[in-house]
A and B are shown apart, each in its own frame.
Chain A
Amino acid sequence: MPNSTFKDHIIEARLFAGRSIIATIVVLVMLLILALRLAELQLLNHKHFTTKSMDNRVRVEPIPPTRGLIYDRNGILLAQNLPTHSLEITPEQVEDLDQTLSQLGKLMEISKGDLKRFNRLRKQRRRFDSIPIRTRLNEDEAAHFSVNRHRFPGVEIQAKLLRRYPLGEETAHVLGYVGRINEKELKTLDASNYSGTSHVGKNGVEKFYEKELHGEVGTRSVEVNVLGRAIRVLESQPPTPGANLFLSLDIKLQREAINTLGEENGAIVAIDPSNGSILAMVSNPSFDPNLFVSGISTDAYNALQKSPDKPLFNRALRGRYPPGSTTKPFIGLAGLELGRTTTGKKEVCRGFYQLPKLKHKYRDWKKRGHGSVDMEKAIVESCDVYFYDLANKLGIDRIHDFLSRFGFGRKSGIDISGEVTGLLPSQEWKRRARGEQWYTGETLIVGIGQGYFLTTPMELASATATLAAHGQHFPPRIVNAIQFSESEQPEPTVSIHQEQLPIRNIHHWNHIIDAMTKVIDSPRGTAKGIHTDNYKIAGKTGTAQVFTIKQDETYDEDKVAKKMRDHALFIAFAPADKPKIAIAVIVENGGHGSSVAAPIARRIMDHYLLRKER
């Protein structure tokens, strides 16, 4: 037994030695495999995993640029960015949320709506994100909270820049406004450049110059942990702020124009004929654009939308009115330039006009007629019969072609969003739009700016400026210069598409302009009431019918309801020999151009020309 156990002992020891050598080999081989695997991960694929590791920990956050400012021609601020304060809570840092909320409620008003929004956002966001409990704190509330801040860990005041239009209503129709980006806009905007931006220009200058005003987004690379919490900023590229705009608008002139219109609904556009830049653009009534920036309430919006005076409607750019007799200088010039009449040729006005073989009487505003009338008298006294006849001689298509050169019925290309065109009819237009042929009678009334003929105040002012500049046509512009960075000088915007209208005989132009000065200066002129010795005005009154009077019926202003009354129009430029300002005034339901619209134009021109000379 001892022998066999001893023998067994040796055999077993050997057996074990063999097996433990195999075990050792297995250990070594498997550790080698492990080492190879680690080499594969750490040496071979190191770059790949480094990239993945960076993707994990680095989050790129946008830094929104500050929106460019807008100034008037004299450097008066029209659109700025003001900090607004909101109160935000970081739930993670608050021990007892309910108590904090009730304590805050004692400090300032917290509405049910505020709480509702807070609770909704709290579910969506992460615990370390701050959530607004109150927005738009006033100064008192902000100060009140600041004093008590120590009592509210995890509650902070956050400042955010919000667009502000200090002049409010005065500039609303020119600048437009910015508002929250909606879903439709989200699809068209450059997603990366707008990644940190909440507002976008909705109309007006704000919309047209959105690209310039917005600027370029900056980025900040932030190290984040697995929950997305920012640990530290790794690097940042500052945003490029939006460009500042310098408008040609003269805010003092704008204010004067608004004041002269007073309570009347209407529009005024004043243009510098030497370059097409807009000096004033008024649409009355107006609205407070600031309401739209932070989100207008449904009630306030409905009130604006449903008001019969349509304050949201931009009459200057989108209102389409019959130009009435303000058309006459252009028709007259067409007659002269196209050789259908001469300066000296006389017609007889008996108070009405009849087409051959037709009974219908096309009436003159003066029942008894103007008697013997030449071009000058026809413009000065605004004889309708003379222009019925001349329009008939020209035909609608020649009228169309000639007047469209002045911009009638065409997009002016103005740098304000929302422009619509008027309507300058032609045979082709009527076929296309109405599917009907053109009647000669329709030509006649286009000759006095009625019928199908519609213009916007912007078109009318631009055409007047073109006439004043002897056919030099500049598309109207509102932005004078763009300042791309604070350190740079503003760069003037160059007016492209400037064109010179063909002139057959410069005397024709002078003759028409002379006649327009006599509208004011002649004792028989329709606008003699605004005569001034300070400078020479060339102008033309107009009265646009809102509804048609039946044959043999007279129009009695006092008996017609205000909204059925004629629109009063006036176009003018001054000084007549060296025009500095061209102007179009439309007073809705104002009655006569001579009595209502012309004095308004005079006050604006006084303000512009006399103040400047002083």
Chain B
Amino acid sequence: MIQDRSKTRGPITRMHLDLPLLTGIILLCGLGLVFLYSASGQDSAQIVRQSIRLGAGFVCMLALAQVHPDKLRYWSPSIFILGIILLLAVLIEGQMGKGAQRWLNLGLFRFQPSEILKLALPMMMAWYLARDPLPPSWKKTTLAVTLILLPVVLIAKQPDLGTALLVGTAGLFVLFLAGLKWRLIIGIILVAIPTGWAVWMWGMRDYQRDRVLTFLDPERDPLGTGYHIIQSKIAIGSGGIYGKGWLNGTQSQLEFLPERTTDFIFAVIAEEFGFSGIIILLSLYLFIILRGLYIAARGQDTYSRLLAGALIMVFFVYLFVNTGMVTGMLPVVGVPLPLVSYGGTSLVTILSGFGILMSIHTNRKLMQS
């Protein structure tokens, strides 16, 4: 066994990369460029820019894959605190400059501190929960929830609902994977439902209820947010089984579909490649997620498992929230289709996450040998 393993230790493993995961990611990113070329109206400049971002993302992935999980664990609290400080900085700057502010300008490039939290929060949670035997005690759970709420509230204040949601779920997934008691889970649900109902009945004015309803069902407002969903459903539905063909989607090419390169690129794919194409794409996603879960399950220690599991589940949440929104099942929150949507920040974060996953997987083997 040991001999076999050393034989298969090609350059990929030596670079601390996981071949199946890497293959899936590269395939998905490659397809993403193909989709983007069509969605952007055959704009080569966008393809070039997206390729540069992909390159940066892969560099981050490669770099993080080299960092040993122990080191990552050691630095987790510091990174988390740094992230929180940056969030506060952005918030204060935003209040002075009036209006929403998500970006921090670092001269060379701008980035969103909230993106750091997508990695920093699960790292912090994993670090915190792995210190004591699992499942976590009540007290620890309460403190963990506070840890989640801190960045979530700060990000929601920016306001960036989509990212807040993703960061929050990342934290919750760590808690769940750490063995959060079922009693507690059910208890929270049992408390949440009547509370929500009470707020709805007595705590809201009509216009607020109207806003909530429109958020939940955008088609109530066909000229506002509903327009996106209506056009998106038309694009998907008119794709049929085999689609209209690459570059031939009328909804996208004639620009009826808004935000077709970013949040709504899934609708472009569904229109041009149809149900069959979408099933193939979803299978690719499923493959990556299952591989991620496998890596998590095979993790060396609790910290690694919790972190890996949370990261891959966040990736899944990305996918589901985006596709759910584009198909009109979920409210409209700005969440991109992971690794495919045009745009840099989330791409780099997701690829960095995969870098951590790979580090967890490859370093385990090294330690064992």
Q: Please report the C-alpha to C-alpha distance between residue A498 and residue B181 in the assembled complex, in whole angstroms.
A: 103
CB distance from A22 to the nearest CB of B (A): 8
Given A23-B309, A57-B250, A231-B254, residue A41 in contact with residue B237 (CB < 8 A): yes
- On chain A, the residues within 8 Å of B234 by CB distance are 49, 52-53, 56
Number of interface residues of B (CB under 8 A): 49
- On chain B, the residues within 8 Å of A11 by CB distance are 133-134
- Does residue B82 face the partner (Cβ distance < 8 Å to A)? no
CB distance from A17 to the nearest CB of B (A): 6
- Does residue A437 face the partner (Cβ distance < 8 Å to B)? no
- Does residue A50 face the partner (Cβ distance < 8 Å to B)? yes
CB distance from B301 to the nearest CB of A (A): 8
Evaluate contact between A15 and B238: CB separation under 8 angstroms.
Answer: no
Q: Of B135, B233, B296, which is within 8 A of A49 by CB? A: B233
Evaluate contact between A19 and B179: CB separation under 8 angstroms.
Answer: yes
Which of A218-226, A285-293, A336-344, A537-545 is the contact stretch? A218-226
Q: Of A23, A34, A49, A231, which is within 8 A of B323 by CB? A: A34
- On chain A, the residues within 8 Å of B301 by CB distance are 9
- On chain B, the residues within 8 Å of A24 by CB distance are 290, 293
Evaluate contact between B254 and A223: CB separation under 8 angstroms.
Answer: yes
- On chain A, the residues within 8 Å of B286 by CB distance are 27-28, 31
**Residues 150-173 of chain B, each 1 if its beta carbon lies under 8 Å from chain A, else 0:** 000000000000000000000001
A contact patch SS: helix
Evaluate contact between B133 and A8: CB separation under 8 angstroms.
Answer: yes
- Does residue B31 face the partner (Cβ distance < 8 Å to A)? no
- Does residue A45 face the partner (Cβ distance < 8 Å to B)? yes
**Residues 35-59 of chain A, each 1 if its beta carbon lies under 8 Å from chain B, else 0:** 1011101110110111011001100
Given A23-B293, A37-B327, residue A49 in contact with residue B313 (CB < 8 A): no
- Does residue A30 face the partner (Cβ distance < 8 Å to B)? yes
Q: Please report the C-alpha to C-alpha distance between residue A168 and residue B233 in the assembled complex, in whole angstroms.
A: 60
- Does residue A401 face the partner (Cβ distance < 8 Å to B)? no
- Does residue B246 face the partner (Cβ distance < 8 Å to A)? no
- Give the A-B contact count at a CB cut-off of 8 A: 139
Chain B CB within 10 A, most for which of A23, A24, A43, A223: A23
- Does residue B37 face the partner (Cβ distance < 8 Å to A)? no
Q: Please report the C-alpha to C-alpha distance between residue A166 and residue B254 in the assembled complex, in whole angstroms.
A: 47
- On chain A, the residues within 8 Å of B256 by CB distance are 56-57, 225-226
Evaluate contact between A16 and B306: CB separation under 8 angstroms.
Answer: yes
- On chain B, the residues within 8 Å of A16 by CB distance are 134, 177-179, 296-297, 299, 302, 305-306, 309
Closest 6 CB pairs of A and B: A49-B237, A53-B238, A225-B254, A42-B275, A226-B255, A41-B237
- Which residues of B are interface residues toward A (Cβ below 8 A)? 133-135, 173, 176-179, 231, 233-241, 250-251, 254-256, 270, 274-275, 278-279, 282, 285-286, 289-290, 293, 296-297, 299, 301-302, 305-306, 309, 313, 316, 320, 323-324, 327, 329
A-B contact pairs, 30 of them (CB 8 A): A9-B302, A12-B302, A16-B177, A16-B296, A16-B297, A19-B177, A20-B293, A24-B290, A24-B293, A31-B286, A34-B324, A35-B282, A37-B327, A37-B329, A38-B270, A39-B275, A42-B275, A43-B240, A43-B275, A45-B237, A46-B239, A46-B240, A46-B241, A50-B238, A57-B250, A57-B251, A223-B250, A224-B254, A226-B256, A231-B254
- Which residues of A are interface residues toward B (Cβ below 8 A)? 8-9, 11-13, 15-17, 19-20, 23-24, 27-28, 30-31, 33-35, 37-39, 41-43, 45-46, 48-50, 52-53, 56-57, 223-227, 231
